[in-house]
């Protein structure tokens, strides 16, 4: 999945993945992470997700990473704020209040450039990667997150004969295969996700499992 694919999606506003409400699984399971309210949350492949605003409402600072500058600009514009802008290496970094969005390639992030990360939130990031990129993404998470850091990951699974990704199907066993080396993993819930995913139903998916995982970076 090259960068142009995503930049083009944002350019054409083909952003069916973007939800107009906060993820129910985030609201339901976030307390399970047991975080201090001011912990910094890393949101890879952030888009302009409203989940980031919800996290700040809980008291967190948010460090989002997003390839598309348009997505980043839309996020701030839709929240009625003008961000401060700076450049850090290859990234344009835009921030306002408790939210900082790093505009650039998640895979090039350097842990030493980031504030201390206290938690991970992954919705539609791992599943945005084709299988060949998934292990690199899992390794990058291991690199960026300090030992003991908890995270919430929301995965999607469906019959891959019915649709080509993205989103790519990630079964519970695939989550284990990708992440177990660096994380303990607890599946908190696996539920039907099709009812609220009309755009995936339109693409031919007849069964969609949305699973929420509590992760913890191993020492």
Residues that bind ligand SAM (CB under 6 A): 6, 17-18, 45-47, 49, 65-68, 71, 105-107, 123-125, 128, 166
Residue with Cβ nearer ligand SAM (166 or 209): 166
Select 166 or 218, whichever has its Cβ closest to ligand SAM.
Answer: 166
**Residue 137 and residue 122 in contact, taking contact as beta carbons nearer than 8 Å:** no
Q: Among residues 71 and 178, whose Cβ is nearest to ligand SAM?
A: 71
Q: Identify which of 87, 91, 94, 115 has the alpha carbon closest to the alpha carbon of residue 105.
A: 91
Rounded to a whole number of angstroms, the minimum distance from the CB of residue 59 to ligand SAM is 21
- List, as one string, the DSSP characters of 100-164: EEEES-GGG--GGGSPPP-EEEEESSGGGS-HHHHHHHHHHHHHHSPTT-EEEEEEEE--TTT--
Is the CB of 41 or the CB of 125 nearer to ligand SAM? 125
For the bound state, the minimum distance from the C-beta of residue 10 to ligand SAM, rounded and expressed in Å, comes to 6
Residue nearest to ligand SAM (CB): 47
Q: How far is the CB of 91 from ligand SAM (least distance, A)?
A: 10
In this structure, what are the phi and psi dihedrals at residue 203, rounded to the nearest 5 degrees?
-85, 0
Q: Is-cis flag, bond preceding 166, omega within 30?
A: yes
* Helix spans in the chain (H): 3-11, 24-29, 50-57, 69-78, 131-144, 172-179, 198-202
At closest approach, how far in Å is the CB of 63 from ligand SAM? 12
Query: Least Å distance between CB 18 and ligand SAM?
Result: 5
| Smallest separation, CB 219 to ligand SAM (Å) | 27
Beta bridge partners, 157, equal: 209
Of the candidates 27, 40, 47, which has an alpha carbon nearest to the alpha carbon of residue 149?
A: 40
- Which residue, 108 or 148, is less far from ligand SAM as judged by CB? 108
Which is nearer to ligand SAM, 134 or 148 (by Cβ)?
134
């Amino acid at each position: 999945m090259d960068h142009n694919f995503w930049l083009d999606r944002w350019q054409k506003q083909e952003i069916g993945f973007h939800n107009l409400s906060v993820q129910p699984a985030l609201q339901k399971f976030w307390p399970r992470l047991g975080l201090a309210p001011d912990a910094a949350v890393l949101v890879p492949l952030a888009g302009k997700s409203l989940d980031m605003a919800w996290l700040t409402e809980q008291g967190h600072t948010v460090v989002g990473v997003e390839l598309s500058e348009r997505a980043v600009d839309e996020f701030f514009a839709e929240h009625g704020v003008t961000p401060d802008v700076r450049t850090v290496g290859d990234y344009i970094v835009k921030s306002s209040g408790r939210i900082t969005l790093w505009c650039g390639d998640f895979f090039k992030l350097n842990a030493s450039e980031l504030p201390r990360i206290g938690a991970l939130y992954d919705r539609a990031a791992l599943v945005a990667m084709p299988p060949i990129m998934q292990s690199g993404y899992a390794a990058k998470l291991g690199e960026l997150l300090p030992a003991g850091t908890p995270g919430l990951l929301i995965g999607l699974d469906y019959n891959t004969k019915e649709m080509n990704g993205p989103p790519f199907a990630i079964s519970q066993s695939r989550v284990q295969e990708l992440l177990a080396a660096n994380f303990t993993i607890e599946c908190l819930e696996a539920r039907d996700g099709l009812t609220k995913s009309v755009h995936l139903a339109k693409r031919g998916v007849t069964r969609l499992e949305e699973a929420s995982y509590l992760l913890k970076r191993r020492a």
